[in-house]
Amino acid sequence: MLGSKPIDTPMDPNVKLTVEDGEPLNDPEKYQRLVGKLNYLTVTRPDIAFSVSVVSQFLASPKITHWNAVIRILRYLKGNPGRELVYRYYGHRRVKGFSDADWAGSPVDRRSTTGYCVFVGGNLVSWKSEKQSVVARSSAESEYRAMAHTTCELMWVRQLLTEIGFTEASPMQLWCDNQTAIHISSNPVFHERTKHIEVDCHFVREKTQQGLISTCHVKTGEQLADIFTKSLGTVRVQYLCNKLGMIDIYAPT
């Protein structure tokens, strides 16, 4: 791929991959090996977390269209091989997380995609992009389930910081762009529309009442977890990478 033409986005926003797409790949093991390597790369490259999560769903029986999607990720990486996370001191140790969900985004089984990212002291330390285990019956349900996953991650980060001697008295901020999901976490009364949400999702409410986290609304345009739930255009990818603290070390100064 050294001679390939670089591209600005890891995945085409207009393409939805399915299990039955195209002809079977002649060498499935080649696909599996390459996707496995890309999974390791997501440890330092959050900008490809969603696209790698998508192509990982077709490891059992990859098609040519799936292989082309993997090749596109390589072309994206070739365009910015020096894009890395930079850690700086911002004068505080506050912990905050951004939670998002793409409701029924998978054309295969209509499951939603959870995406979150966690910052400590203004620096990105944790992120995730994964398909939810069950089908959500509403966008609020998918967003609330994503909030529950993010809350678990926030609690883990808080415990880790406590063990190494760093404590922060203020509640951790949990940012979400769905007002309904935020209201569910703070409203002590359950309604008929929320009864189908699994019990473990109300973990968010418990931590809110304990004063460990505070839920906040963020505008969709400022939702940093957006890059972990769907494929985006060039401008949006560049903007979110910058907000996540990623810079290109090879870019001209």
- Radius of gyration of the CA atoms of the chain, in A: 19
Q: So what's the pLDDT on residue 96? A: 97
Q: What is the mean pLDDT of residues 139-168?
A: 91
d(CA 69, CA 187): 43
- Which CATH entry fits the domain spanning 95-227: 1.20.1050.10, 3.30.420.10, 3.40.190.10, 1.20.1260.10? 3.30.420.10
d(CA 238, CA 250): 15
Q: So what's the pLDDT on residue 139? A: 87
Q: List C-alpha distances in Å: 15 to 6, 62, 134, 201, 232.
A: 18, 16, 23, 31, 11
Model pLDDT for residues 86-129, shown as the tens digit of each residue: 999 999 999 999 999 999 888 888 999 999 999 999 999 999 99
The residue ranges of every structural domain in the chain are 1-81, 95-227
Phi (first) and psi of residue 9, to 5 degrees: -130, 145
Mean pLDDT, the chain, whole residue set = 91
Enter the pTM of the model: 0.92
Model pLDDT for residues 173-190, shown as the tens digit of each residue: 999 999 988 887 777 565
